[in-house]
Amino acid sequence: MDRLIFHVDVNSAFLSWEAARRVRLGEPDLRLIPSCVGGNPERRTSIVTAKSIPAKAYGINTGEPISMALRKCPNLVVVESDFRLYQECSKAFKDICRKYAPVVEEFSIDECFLDMTGTGKVYPDPIKTAHDIKNEIRDTLGFTVNVGIGANKLLAKMASDFEKPDKVHTLLNQEEVESKMWPLPISDLFGVGKASTKRLLDAGIKTIGQLAKTDISFLKMLVGDKAGEHMYALANGIDESPVTSEEREAKSYSVVTTVEENITSYEVANHILLGLADSVCTRMRKEGAKAYCVSVKIRSDDFKNQSHQLNFMEATDVTEEIYETAKKLFADLWDGKTPLRLMGIALSNISKDEEQQLSLFVDEEKEKQKKVDAAMDSIRSKYGMGKIMRGSVMKSSMKVGRKFNV
C-alpha cells in the first residue's frame, strides 16, 4: 500500500509563539514589525535565535549578536526566549495533530510527522485534511504552520519547507519529485552535511536532480560508501523510515555538582558543564540509550533553583552536542552575576531505538564526534573513569584548583 505522510512544521516557531501570546493580550503583533527573539536582551552576549520577516528586510540574521542587529535596525523589538511557553505551544499543536492521525511522531519542538496511511475512508481528500489541520491550529492557537504531504517522511519534510507561511504542499509521486524537488540546490536536501555538499559542488553537482542522476559508484568514491548510497536514495525521493510514536522511557540520566567556591564566570561554568556532560553521556551510552531532551539546572547561593530544557530533532548520545546545547541553555538561564552553588544536567525522553536514528540524517561532524566518544568509552571501560579526561575538562580542574564531584 502507498504510504501517506504529513509533516507539520510551525512557521518561525519561537517568534510566532511569543507573537500569539502578545496578540492575545492586545499587544502589537511581533510578526508584523521588525522583531526578534534573543536570550536576555539586556546582555551583550545574546544572539538572535528567531526573527520576523520585517526584521529580515533589515538584513538581520539568525545567530548574530543582538548588538549588531540593533545597529542595523534601532527600532528592533527584542524579546526574551521563554522555554516554558515553547513547551506549552508545542504540546498544544501536537495535540491537535493527534486528533487527526493515528500515529504522530514528535520530531522536534516545532515539528511532527503524521502517518495518515490507510485513513482514506475517514479522510478521502488528504489535501483538504491537511488544510483542516493547518487552519484549526491557526484559528485556535493563533500561529501558523506549513503542512507537507509526501509518500514518505523525507518527501513530507521537503514539501513542508516550500513556500511559507500557512501553506500546504505535496510531493506525492515521481512527477512531483522531478518538477518540485530536483531543481533545488543540494544544500536544501535533508541529510546531506556541509562537508559532503562542498565535495559535491566541487564535482559540479549543484542541484538535487543532478545528484539523483549521478552514477552511484562515482558518488561513493566522492563521499564514501554509506553516505553515497544514502544521498543517492534521498535525491531520488526514497526513504523507508517509519513514523514511530514510541513511548519514550520515563527514565532519565542526570548529574549535579555542588561547588565549594561559588561559580561567578562563564568560563568556569562552561568547563563544569563539559565535565557534567561528559560524565552523564558516558553513563547513558553504556546502556545503549539516547536522549531527546537535555535540561540544565542551576542553584544560586541564596538557594534559588532554575532550569531550562530543550528538545533535539533526533535523539543523541554525543557529548559534544549535549555540551553545546547545555551551554546555550545555561547562557539563557544565568544573568552572569548571581553566584552559583550548584549546576546539573539531565537527559530525558530516552530512546533505545537504534534503527530510526540512521534513517533520515547522516551528519558527518556528528559521526566524527561519535568516534571520539567511542574511543574514550573504550579506554574508560578498561582503565576506569579517572584515567582519561577531555582536554578542556583537565585544563579547567587544574586552573580552578578544585575537583568536580561528578
* Catalytic (active-site) positions: 111
Q: Choose between 10 and 223: whose C-beta lies nearer to Mg ion.
A: 10
CB of 193 to Mg ion, least distance (A): 20
**Which segment (13-21, 73-81, 132-140, 170-178) binds Mg ion by CB under 5 A?**
13-21
145 binds Mg ion (CB under 5 A): no
Q: DSSP secondary-structure letter at 167?
A: -
Interface residue with Mg ion among 7, 9, 113, 205 (CB under 5 A) is 9
- Phi, psi at 353, each rounded to 5°: -85, 100
Separation CA 147–CA 163 (nearest Å): 11
Q: Which stretch binds Mg ion (CB under 5 A): 11-19, 118-126, 216-224, 365-373?
A: 11-19
Stretch 76-115 residues interacting with Mg ion (CB under 5 A): 110
Cβ proximity to Mg ion: between 17 and 330 the closer is: 17
Cell of 286: 553504556
Nearer to Mg ion, 10 or 177 (CB): 10
Closer CB to Mg ion, 9 or 176, in the complex: 9
Is residue 256 within 8 A of residue 277, CB to CB? The reply is: no
Nearer to Mg ion, 112 or 343 (CB): 112
Number of residues that bind Mg ion (CB under 5 A): 4
Nearest CA among 342, 338, 336 for reference residue 266: 336
Shortest spacing between CB 400 and Mg ion, in angstroms:
40
Angstrom distance (rounded) from CA 377 to CA 234 = 33
What's the closest the beta carbon of residue 111 comes to Mg ion, in angstroms?
A: 6
Give the span between the Cα atoms of 156 and 330, in whole angstroms. 34
Name the grid cell of 17. 509563539
Q: Are the C-beta atoms of residues 94 and 104 closer than 8 Å to each other? A: yes
Q: Dihedrals φ, ψ of 63, to 5°?
A: 100, -10
| b/e map 10-42, b = 16+ CB within 10 Å | bbbbbbbbbbbbbbeeeeeebbeebbbbbbbbe
Minimum gap (Å) between residue 328 Cβ and Mg ion: 18
Binding residues (CB under 5 A) for Mg ion: these are: 9-10, 13, 110
